[in-house]
Amino acid sequence: MATGSIYNLTQVDYSARGQRVEISVDGIPKSQTVIFSGLDCFGEAYYFTEEGLRYITDSRLTRPTQEFVLYYFDKIPKILTTPMMLGHNRIEPDHFLYLQKCAIKEHGNKKELLGVVLKKSNINVVWNFYFLEKGKIPSHVDILQYFN
C-alpha cells in the first residue's frame, strides 16, 4: 500500500504526530491519533489521523476503480489549501467536500477530479478522500464556492 508519502509531506505540520484528539461524531466523542495538521484555504486548522487513513484505505480497497487514490495522499494538503470548488453535503451537514483536478498517472496523466471530505466539528478532520468518477459531483452535495 502506498501510504509512505503521507508521513513525509513538506507543506504540513507533524509536530502533533501521535497525539490524541477527540472529535465529536453524532454527539459521541471519538478519539483520533494525529498524523499531521495543516490549514485549509480559509486558514482553518485540520487534522489527518491514523483512523482517517485506515477508513480511506479500507473504503478505496473495496472499490477497484478507486484503489489508485492510495498513491495520491500527498495531494490532500494541496486540495485543502487550493481547491477549485467547495461543496457541502446535505445528508451529512458537517461534511464539506474540497475538490481539485489532479494529474493521475494511472489514467494517462489525465487531470481527474479528486475530493477530500473535511468533517467540521469541534475540530476539523480529514474524513475521506476519493476519485469522482466521470467528474460527477454527488447529487447530495451543493457547491458553495468556486475558486480561481
Question: Using one digit for the tens of pLDDT, what is the confidence trace for 47-58?
Answer: 999 999 999 999
8-state DSSP, 147? -
Cell 478532520 belongs to: 125
Residue whose cell numbers read 491519533: 33
> What whole-number distance in Å separates Cα of residue 96 and Cα of residue 78?
16
Please check whether residue 68 is in contact with residue 106, taking contact to mean a CB–CB distance below 8 angstroms: yes
Global model pTM greater than 0.85: yes
The string of pLDDT tens digits covering residues 22-61 is 998 888 899 999 999 999 999 999 999 999 999 999 999 9
Per-domain boundaries in the chain: 4-146
Task: Tell me the three state secondary structure of residue 66.
Answer: helix
Q: In 3D, which of 91, 104, 92 has the Cα closest to residue 130?
A: 104
11 residue type, one letter: Q
